[in-house]
Structure 1
Amino acid sequence: MKKHKSLHSVALAVAAFAGSVGMAAAAELPKSAEVKDTGKLVIANTLEYAPFEFIDEKGEQVGINIELAQETAKMLGAELEVTRIPFPSMIPGLAAGRFKIAWETFAATEDRLKQVDFVMFIKSGIVASTTPDKAPSFQGENNLCGKRLGVIGGAVSDFIADRLNEECKTKGLPELTKSVFPEGKDIIQAVLSDRIDARLDDATASGYFEVTSKGQLVVVPGLYDVAPLGIAVPKGDKDTAEMLRAALEEMIKNGTYETIMSKYGMTSAMIEEAYVVDSADKIRK
């Protein structure tokens, strides 16, 4: 009986410690006036762009952005409220003061920076993916030289393939062979049937297919045409921007960020530090 009491005491102590750590995190993170006043973290989101945000088969809101926002709300000791808004209406809505946070994956263009600021938390780019048995042959520098690649005609990957081929030729390495397809599904079938070696496509689509297909294709090392992406906040709203930056930075440090990104096959899109961009010269490539 004495032993059981001791174990019970330890369990209570651990629970109390965990609770105190959670309360401390909420107390230490800066909060915007809106979160302080309402106790809510309100975000605008489309809820229709997997793997970042979507409604699953159970009718629940899921995805990278949703789960990062949920963790942020938890650390702030706030309730998350998601307002569904079409993507084209988000920056105008922020500029008009209708809401404070558009939690999407925005590229920080000069035109957008005239109206809003950004908190960067992820990066986008082009990656190659292949079958697991071929993945070991895609290691090291210039790992696409000599390979047969499939791209969607006119997409960024189409032009990236041409640029990479020029680099292969300049370095005296075997040239890559580019095959153009109308749709991503056609490229996937070509890789699976060994007509080409790899698919060259957006990191988001490729990473998510790796997860949903249970590894039929896997992303290999290398990220091309890299661009940081971020959450949009009203221009000059330093309190909201710093609140989000601090929360994301804490998740990067404690491993929550990597756990969520890994869940959706997006580790290639991770960045090492969350940061605020309020002018084009602060964008980190």
Structure 2
Amino acid sequence: MTASSTRRTTASRSRIAAVGAIAVAGALLLTGCGDQTKSDDSDTAETSAAPLADKLPKAIRDKGVIKVGSDINYAPVEFRDDSGKTVGIDPDVAAALGKQLGVKFEFQNGTFDALIGGLAAKRYDVAMSAMTDTKDRQEGVDSETGKKVGAGVDFVDYFTAGVSLYTNKGDDQGIKTWDDLCGKTMAVQRNTFSHDLAKDQAKKCTDDGKKALKIEDFATNPEAETRMRSKGADVVSADFPIAAYSTKNAGGGKHFEIVGDQVEAGPYGIAVAKDNTELRDALQAAVNAIIKNGEYEKIVKKWGVEDGAVTESKINGGS
């Protein structure tokens, strides 16, 4: 289901306070846990010691690897540091899950809008890429047309994030709420939850007889930001952790500023094929295990995103 045009505001002020912590976390990038490479011997030892290894499908347990489809261009959730290593919230969570399950999580880069298709084609075992768990994705429905386009996926939820707007610093275009977007040009990453919200708002502007909201969509969020930096767009929309990270780090904090409050808080989920319930349930058990043992708390604190933490993993908790 495409996101409703009636938006619920989240407690954004407390999250905006976390931006400074995200900036501090930037200094830790080189020690991120995204490098999943291990020797065969260590893999064998880890598998035998992993408390939840027997919950995995035998095929995955035997190969010792979970292939992860991800758009590795979405700091701080997943991105490459200066050495080319994959780091971020998702790689750190995956590394912690790997300890529980006795396998490596091997991140493979892909464009966001092709990840679920790649999962269906069995190029990946899971998709983990700041992906919002929605009913449409669960049911394989195109959010724009309402038509069935695939089998859908199951989600193992592990985080919560709202959506933010940000502009060039010192040039907020008078934008405080989504209704202020009428007559503006928005740059956004294609087929994201932000893109759905933008399309809903564009329709609302038209229905209310206001100036049109023009949407320019791009394969990656950095491309959307570049478009705004060049004055081709007035505003960018992205998940709060991404917007916060960009405003604190791009141009040393001089390029962008967040405007208004977060909206539409929803769960991030690890996407798994509908017919792979054994893997789905193993992942849920592993997420709950790292919540219980404190590893999860360490990760969200490291990246300054404690306000998005969950206390329990749910299956298909999105709406």
TM-score by length of 2: 0.53
Going from structure 1 to structure 2, the CA distance change for 1:127 and 1:79 (only over 3 Å counts) comes to closer
Query: How many Å apart are 1:237 and its aligned residue?
Result: 1.3
Q: Where do 5+ consecutive residues of structure 2 fail to align?
A: 1-45, 140-150, 167-174, 187-196, 202-223, 229-236
Does the 8 A contact of 2:98 with 2:104 survive in 1? yes
Identity of aligned pairs, percent? Answer: 27
Query: How many Å apart are 1:271 and its aligned residue?
Result: 1.9
Q: Is 1:110 matched with 2:136?
A: yes
Distance 1:201 1:111 in 2: 18
Going from structure 1 to structure 2, the CA distance change for 1:184 and 1:49 (only over 3 Å counts) comes to closer
1:12-59 alpha-carbon deviations (Å, 9 max, x no partner): xxxxxxxxxx88971345222233111222212221111111110122
Letter aligned with residue 48 of structure 1: N
Does the 8 A contact of 2:52 with 2:100 survive in 1? no
Does the 8 A contact of 1:45 with 1:82 survive in 2? yes
Residues 215-226 of structure 1: matches in 2 within 5 Å? 224-226=263-265
Q: Is 1:208 matched with 2:263?
A: no
One of 62, 81, 97 as aligned partner of 1:72: 97
Task: State the partner residue of 1:276.
Answer: 315
One of 13, 16, 26 as aligned partner of 2:50: 26
1:113-143 alpha-carbon deviations (Å, 9 max, x no partner): 24211111112214699xxxxxxxxxxxxxx
Does the 8 A contact of 2:100 with 2:289 survive in 1? no
Distance 1:251 1:265 in 2: 18
1:215-267 alpha-carbon deviations (Å, 9 max, x no partner): 99999xx8532122211111131111111111111122222222222222222
RMSD after superposition: 4.1
Going from structure 1 to structure 2, the CA distance change for 1:206 and 1:97 (only over 3 Å counts) comes to closer
Task: State the partner residue of 1:123.
Answer: 160
Corresponding pairs, count = 212
Q: Where do 5+ consecutive residues of structure 1 fail to align?
A: 1-21, 130-147, 161-182, 188-199, 278-282
Going from structure 1 to structure 2, the CA distance change for 1:115 and 1:284 (only over 3 Å counts) comes to closer
Query: How many Å apart are 1:62 and its aligned residue?
Result: 0.2
Task: State the partner residue of 1:234.
Answer: 273
1:164-206 alpha-carbon deviations (Å, 9 max, x no partner): xxxxxxxxxxxxxxxxxxx989x9xxxxxxxxxxxx9741234
